[in-house]
Structure 1
Amino acid sequence: MIAKLEMLIALAREKHFGRAAESLGLTQPTLSAGIRHLEEQLGVKLVIRGSRFGGLTPEGQRALVRARQIVGDTRRLRDEMRSSREGLSGHLRLAVIPTALTWASRLVTSFTARHPNVSFTVLSRASAEILSMLDDLEIDAGISYLDNEPLGRVTTRPLYRESYTVVCRPDHPFASGGPVGWDALGSARLCLLTPDMQNRRIINRHFMEAGVGPAALIESNSTVALVANVLHGDWATILPDDLARFLCEGKPLAVVPLRELAPAPGVGLIAPHQEPYTPVLTALLAEAEGLTAPAS
């Protein structure tokens, strides 16, 4: 039954029989047969079928909610039993907003130093994707913004508050003075993250509050690509301070602070609001709490 519930979750996530089967390491006929068997066991039609996947029926939507709960509870029980037998061990899947990857590294490194039998998969994802992946049980936890946009029902552990810098070449006008005001960026040649990124929406809000509307002539969902553009051309970009210093270390680039206009957005660890947590996830939440940066 658990395997068939996982098939339903994968199909709802992928919205395609072939992709859902591939995500589970199954053939499409095996997945289709599993879904039909589940329908027979429950006595209701779960999936709208035609020439392609047509969505879930109302009964399928209700079954999906329970499937996520049952599969999540089963995974937690399995991890608890393993921990009681082997000590703290297992695998954690973590999705992280691109601007917080350096902090994710700190958290994972600190955690694995204490618990060497726990392994990690760390993925770079946009904030909206992280919430979706938590709902679909694709990840165990995420690192995202905490107070800028609605998170829904999650448990949070604050890590730090994001302060911003301008990254430019040493011969750029911004590099010659002190902190740069947001209003000075109105005429700058900027390359920025894409609008689907929450970091970009925060930056756009700062521009609006400063009364300027600069255009980003280059957009990318990769912070590495942004820094590369600055390195090789007459561009400037805006990045969180910690990430900017990491990406610019050893390169002929200047990292210049920006004057903050509003309380800095908080970033932290988020996990599904489902208790009790597995021993491994409980330890990760505690590790994040111990890693929290002091308020500036």
Structure 2
Amino acid sequence: MLFRQLEYLVALARERHFARAAQACYVSQPALSEAIRKLEDELDVSLVRRGRTYEGLTPEGERIVLWAQRILADRDSLKSEVDALRTGLSGRLRIGAVPTASGAVALLTGPFCGRHPLVTVELRADLRSEDILRQLQNFEIDAGVTYLHRVREGFRTVPLYEERYVLLTEDSSAGGLGSRSEATWAEASRLPLCLLAETMQGRRVLQEVFSEAGLRPSPRVETDSVAALFAHVRTGRWATIVPSAWLNVFGVASGMRAVPMAAPSRPVTVGLVTLARDPGPVMARTLMDLARTAGVTAAFDRLSGSAAPGH
């Protein structure tokens, strides 16, 4: 009964609405409300600020939610550990990734699913770096793929590859840069650019490089979609700067060219991140071990290489 009460409380904290929380837990709203009231009675503390509508958790409720998330995560980890010992790894692996690294995740999920055929993968590929760390702390995902220079204490990391950048442009545009062996950030800043939105970590990394060169680009188009960047370049009116690792997934379409960026060249490390817990969930531990194997590291080493110019 305690586990169920904790699940209801966590759902209420997440949904911030009694009816939606009840729906998420597949129970009626009166049943969810009564279970949380019983939990308050058992703990002898008020957890929810109640009015005509949901008004949030009390300070005590906020603290109890943190314990509830940890207890439920430990319960699920224990079940997964027992199942893995009995029948092999099974269940759902939840991975969060920043958009710029979403294509590279396939280099992990492919071999992982090959080794563990009973596991399914849920990939959340449009998260910000801070969202990944928050969801790890809230036990909403098992692992993340993000920029390691933004990761603070309390997490375990495995470097995967160095993110380098290319100027992606239409063949006949960009003032002839498409025929060059490399392009400078100063040259790129003068082009009609389409870039990721400023709220995204991938864009903030680009801004840091531009700032290092004393530049302030003014993109005409901003988006949170990788596909939209490529679509705009295909029109011939725009250029963009993207990680060379994307070319491993999207390739360089006919009529487009990818020119490595230089001066300054400051690669950023992208890696796998999990919570620093002992013993930790078996799913996350297994994924971290896989990321360190020779075959996987070799695949990511190829992403770290500079892209060759041209098609």
Q: Is the structural similarity TM-score above 0.5?
A: yes
The aligned residue for residue 126 of structure 1 is 128
**Contact 1:167/1:239 (CA < 8 Å) preserved in 2?**
yes
Query: Are 1:174 and 2:177 an aligned pair?
Result: yes
In 1, Cα distance between equivalents of 2:254 and 2:129: 29
1:196-229 deviations in Å (ceiling 9; x for gaps): 1101001011111112211111111111111001
Alpha-carbon offset, residue 109 of structure 1: 0.2
Superposed, which structure 2 residues align to 1:219-234 within 5 Å? 219-234=222-237
Query: Are 1:208 and 2:200 an aligned pair?
Result: no
| Higher alpha-carbon deviation: 213-222 or 35-44 | 35-44
Superposed, which structure 2 residues align to 1:266-277 within 5 Å? 266-277=269-280
Change (3 A) 1:49 1:233: farther
Give secondary structure in 2 for the equivalent of 1:102: coil
In 1, Cα distance between equivalents of 2:162 and 2:109: 19
Opposite residue 144 of structure 1, the aligned amino acid is T
Change (3 A) 1:18 1:109: same
The aligned residue for residue 186 of structure 2 is 183
Alpha-carbon offset, residue 132 of structure 1: 1.9
Aligned length, in residue pairs:
295
In 2, Cα distance between equivalents of 1:250 and 1:235: 15
Match of 2:138 among 132, 136, 139: 136
**Contact 1:94/1:121 (CA < 8 Å) preserved in 2?**
yes
Opposite residue 197 of structure 1, the aligned amino acid is M
Opposite residue 137 of structure 2, the aligned amino acid is D
In 2, Cα distance between equivalents of 1:26 and 1:272: 31
Alpha-carbon offset, residue 150 of structure 1: 4.1
1:84-115 deviations in Å (ceiling 9; x for gaps): 22112221111111111121011000111111
Could you list the runs of 5+ residues in structure 2 that have no partner in the other structure? Answer: 306-311
In 2, Cα distance between equivalents of 1:263 and 1:250: 26
The aligned residue for residue 96 of structure 2 is 95
The TM-score normalised by the length of structure 1 is: 0.93
Alpha-carbon offset, residue 262 of structure 1: 5.3
Query: Are 1:252 and 2:259 an aligned pair?
Result: no
In 2, Cα distance between equivalents of 1:256 and 1:269: 28
Query: Are 1:2 and 2:34 an aligned pair?
Result: no
| Higher alpha-carbon deviation: 250-259 or 101-110 | 250-259
Give secondary structure in 1 for the equivalent of 2:11: helix
Give secondary structure in 1 for the equivalent of 2:158: strand
The aligned residue for residue 30 of structure 1 is 31
Opposite residue 31 of structure 1, the aligned amino acid is L
In 2, Cα distance between equivalents of 1:282 and 1:213: 42
In 1, Cα distance between equivalents of 2:155 and 2:111: 23
Change (3 A) 1:245 1:82: closer
In 2, Cα distance between equivalents of 1:140 and 1:25: 24
**Contact 2:88/2:116 (CA < 8 Å) preserved in 1?**
no
Change (3 A) 1:261 1:115: same
In 1, Cα distance between equivalents of 2:60 and 2:34: 18
Could you list the runs of 5+ residues in structure 1 that have no partner in the other structure? Answer: none
In 2, Cα distance between equivalents of 1:84 and 1:174: 57
The TM-score normalised by the length of structure 2 is: 0.89
**Contact 1:158/1:266 (CA < 8 Å) preserved in 2?**
yes
Opposite residue 60 of structure 1, the aligned amino acid is G
Structure 1: which 4+ aligned runs deviate by more than 4 Å?
Answer: none
Superposed, which structure 2 residues align to 1:24-173 within 5 Å? 24-124=25-125, 125-147=127-149, 149-172=150-173, 173=176
In 2, Cα distance between equivalents of 1:205 and 1:25: 46
| Higher alpha-carbon deviation: 28-37 or 72-81 | 28-37
Indicate the RMSD between aligned Cα atoms, in angstroms.
1.8
**Contact 1:4/1:34 (CA < 8 Å) preserved in 2?**
yes
In 1, Cα distance between equivalents of 2:135 and 2:220: 31
Opposite residue 126 of structure 1, the aligned amino acid is R
